[in-house]
Each structure stands twice: as structure tokens, then as C-alpha cells.
Amino acid sequence: MEYNRTTPSADGYYMPAEYEPHKGCIMIWPQRPGSWKKNAKDAEQAFCAVMEEITKSEPVYLAAGKKVLARAEAFAAQQKEKYREAIACGRHFPVTVFEAETDDAWARDMAPTFVKKGGSVRAVNWSFNAWGGTVDGLYASWKLDDAFALDFAKREGYFCYDAAPFVLEGGSIHSDGEGTVMVTEACLLSKGRNPQLSKEQIEEKLKAYLGAEKVLWLPRGIYLDETNEHVDNVCAFVGPAEVVLAWTDDPKDPQYPLSLETLQYLELQTDAKGRKIIVHKLPIPDVPVCVTPEDLEGYVFEEGEDTREVGERLAASYVNFYFSNGAVIMPAFGGKNAESDQRAAEILHSICPQREILPVYARDILTGGGNIHCITQQIPQGKAEKE
């Protein structure tokens, strides 16, 4: 692995869109007691369900710490046996487990961001500080998470650009692969990220390391999103100059003014190629997803770690989906939101008719603080540049 002191943009590299072909997907086995209750048993089931759907069309590279390595390997072995013939014929894909110690399991924010040029793919490492560091970060120690991107790039032989000490998470950026990147002001201008930099300086960093020509600064994200309102929970590119936006028609819902402000902003914007942005409204669950007393059973919070309270509203959104090579892996919340789940799946099918829409019950991921997009990181199709 090499650390290049130039930038992707200077070398002709850019961040591709998530709906472009993938080599595979990075995930991390959950185990943090302050994120995943009862030894992460419920979370494990949800993560495994997501992996099972992803491997229908692409491989999964699964990191696991020493304490949970055997469980991760057992799952991978079970999948290999279950789909042995399909994997041999290329109709299903394996889960490859490797040992890596992390503080938590949010692969989107900790794994490398990948950039490409032609058939060549390189990695980008950002500084990670648990979504705000000592200002408003969600846990006190993030050293292992911060090291993960560089470690993965070295393991897989990717030429790596090191953007540190610039703080950024993968969930806070969305690219159309054609020069336009979306972020939220609420996140990127938060005091816990890069307070020494102006908005203009932050934009120049994004352009340099993502190969972007234009940055769309959405004002807000999802109500009470503890990441300071990552863009991946509120708005996502589904095509060039085409996005889905988390929405509600209820003016009494606290999400309403946030989404309305974002919609009004997008209606006035064009992308890097001068095209008007097509906005598809993707309604949030009709019934707010809130923390129950049962949800709080079995957590073990460390000193300095963000905690949960009964009645706390969680940042539930259907926008937090993952594009696999053959599908959209969509979070579903079940129960009183069964109709909302169905509506979201139908909307996404109308927008992405060439892909299968695969809802996965994801409430047990949401209670950890994120959702399906947050626990996944795509690797673009292409050749890794070796050392």
C-alpha cells in the first residue's frame, strides 16, 4: 500500500455512484455492548439477514474481532454450505471473514471511501472521531475504528490516499458518479468535525478527495439523527440528477420542516452538468419508531458513551438502503409500520424497476443508531492497485 500526497482529483479519480457495479461489500460483525443489547444477538440476526440478501448478487468481506470471530466464521460456513452449488455456478456469492478489531460495526463510516479511474480503484482514508469527537461524539474511544480504513486498504492492496486529519464519515457523502456530491450542512459544519475550516475550505477538500465538481449542501437531515444528520438517511442518488428524499406530509411531524427545507433547496439546484434535480418523495414510517423499555434491556454503556431513553424517537428512514449489484436492500420496521414498509418498497420499485426490492427487518439495527446503509460499504468494480 502507498500513501499518496496528491489527491484523487489531481490524479483523475472520482467517487462513483453507489448504483454502479460493485466488486463487493464490506461489513463488520456487531459486538459493542453499548450499541447492541444482549450480546448483540438480535443485531447479529439482522446483520446476517442483510448479508444473505447482498450475497445474492455480490460478495461480502466481513470483519470480526477475536471475541466474535468464531460466530462470524460459523455464519460464513453455513452460507457456503447452504448455497454451495449456486456459489460454484456464480449465482450466489461467498462471505469472506477476516479478523480485525474495531470499536463498533458501522462500516459505512469507518471503511475506506473508494474512488476510480477507468478500471482502476483506489481507497481514501478519512479521520474518524465517532461523529463529533469530544464535542458531541457518541463514544469516548474510537482509535480502532479510525485505524480500520487504512488497515483494510493495506490488507486488500489498495493504493490509499490519506486525507487525515480531515474528519469525514462515509454516511455523510453521496455521489452521483458524474461530478455531483451531496452533503448536509448540519453534519459537515458541526463543531465536532472540522471547526478550523470554513464551508468553502471543506468544499474544496470534498472536491479534491472525491473528484467532485459540485457539492450540494442540503440544509438538514432526519430529525434526531445522532450523526448530526448524515445525508445517507435523508437523501440518496438513484440516478444521474435523480434522488429520493425522506418525506412526510404531516405538518405536525418534526421531520416536516426539515424535509420541506431540503426539498425547496433541491428544487432550485442543478447538478454538475447543469441538469435540474428530479426529486422522488419517499415517506418515512407513518408511526414513529421509538425506544421501548424492552429495547433498553441488556445494554452495557461505557463512561462517555451516548445512552438511550424510553420514548426516544429513532431516526427511521427508508432512504438508508443499500444498492447491491442486483437489488435494493431496504430497511423495514414491521408492526404498525407494515403498510409503510410496503409503500416504500413499491415506490423504490417504481424508481428502480430493473432491481429487486428486498426489505429486511432492520429495527434491531436502528436501535444501535443507524441502518442498512450505515453497516455496509460498497467496493466499486475494478482492479486494486497493488503496492
Of 206 and 309, the structure prediction assigns the larger pLDDT to 206
Provide mean pLDDT across the span 189-198: 98
The single residue of 25, 235, 352, 374 carrying the catalytic annotation is: 374
Residue 244 CA to residue 235 CA, distance in Å, equals 6
- For the stretch 241-294, pLDDT in tens is 999 999 999 999 999 999 999 999 999 999 999 999 999 999 999 999 999 998
pLDDT band at 5 (very low <50, low <70, confident <90, very high): confident
Domains of the chain (ranges, CATH numbers): 3-384 (3.75.10.10)
Residue 331: the pLDDT is 98
pLDDT at 387 over 70: no
Give CA torsion, residues 229, 254, 279, 109, to 10 deg. 20
Q: Which residues contact 39 (CB under 8 A, 6 or more apart)?
A: 31, 33, 298
How does 16-39 read in b/e, with b if 16+ C-beta sit within 10 Å?
bbbbbebbbbbbbbbbbebbbbeb
pLDDT at 146 over 50: yes
DSSP code, position 255: H
Report how far apart, in Å, the C-alpha atoms of 12 and of each of 57, 205, 253 are.
29, 15, 44
Residue 1: the pLDDT is 46
* 374 tagged catalytic: yes
- For the stretch 288-314, pLDDT in tens is 999 999 888 878 887 777 788 899 999
Average pLDDT, the chain: 96
- For the stretch 349-376, pLDDT in tens is 999 999 999 999 999 999 999 999 999 9
Residue 4: the pLDDT is 55
Over pLDDT 90: what percentage of the chain?
A: 93
HEC secondary structure over 212-225:
CCEEEEECCCCCCC
HEC secondary structure over 55-98:
CCCCCEEEEECHHHHHHHHHHHHHHHHHCHHHHHCCCCCCEEEE
Residue 244 CA to residue 250 CA, distance in Å, equals 18
pLDDT at 86 over 70: yes
3-state helix, strand, coil in the chain (%, to 5): 30, 25, 45
